[in-house]
Amino acid sequence: MTVRFLPAGDTALVVEFGDRIDRVLNDRVIRLSQRIAAAALPGVIETVPTFRSLMVHYDPLSTGAESLAQAIGGLIRPGAARAGKRRLWRLPACYDPSLAPDIEEVAAHVGLTVEDVIARHADTLFHVYMIGFTPGYPYMGDLPGELHLPRRKDPRTRVRAGSIAIAAGLTAVYPSESPGGWHLIGATPARLFDPAWEQPSLLAPGDAVRFNPVRIDEFALLAADAAAGRAVAAFEEVAE
């Protein structure tokens, strides 16, 4: 296993495990993040997992890149096994056309019916690779091969919060209204980000996610619950 340590300015260090989106690489990233937290290395402020690398933010008055790289290197274990458990989230998802402006076009492009697109998406156990783009935005894989599509040629300037989208081999949920270039195939009433929460992002790298289909009338009721501050998504700890 080749690992590279790359400086990111004078207050961060990137630990790079590879150059592709891969579950094995991502598992190593997440395990290293957990080990750094458990080791409480002096000067480390925060770790940020990505698809294939880990950014480690540090206080330059407490440590330096060279000594930190040496300490982190001692925590890297080739071929490390996954942790025993992870969180499995169940998010309600409505695929009604009123919330899924691209679902018919997606179905036509991939040669499936809308019902087949919904079934394949809802039947997939997704893995949260990383959080990024906007606060709380989860990049999740791995989408069934028959649903792989490139990003839209004409990105939208506004995508409503809660929209469920797909592109390439990934799916995501927009936590807040923002621009977006992915294909919108549904929506969840669950809130994925709130700065007032102890952990502002609902999902975290390494989590698993299943989408549970709901009707449009159920979606409206759940959205009202979410707006009132009630949880509409739940998780359980499961073996990896």
- Going along the chain from its start, the domains and CATH numbers come out as 4-73 (3.30.1360.40), 85-239 (2.40.100.10)
The confidence score (pLDDT) of residue 231 equals 93
Q: What are the residues whose beta carbons fall under 8 Å from the beta carbon of 87, sequence distance 6 or more?
A: 204, 206, 207, 208, 235, 236, 237, 238
pLDDT in tens, 169-221: 999 999 999 999 999 999 999 999 999 999 999 999 999 999 999 999 999 99
pLDDT in tens, 121-173: 999 999 999 999 999 999 999 999 999 999 999 999 999 999 999 999 999 99
In this prediction the pTM is 0.93
| Residue percentage of the chain with pLDDT more than 70 | 98
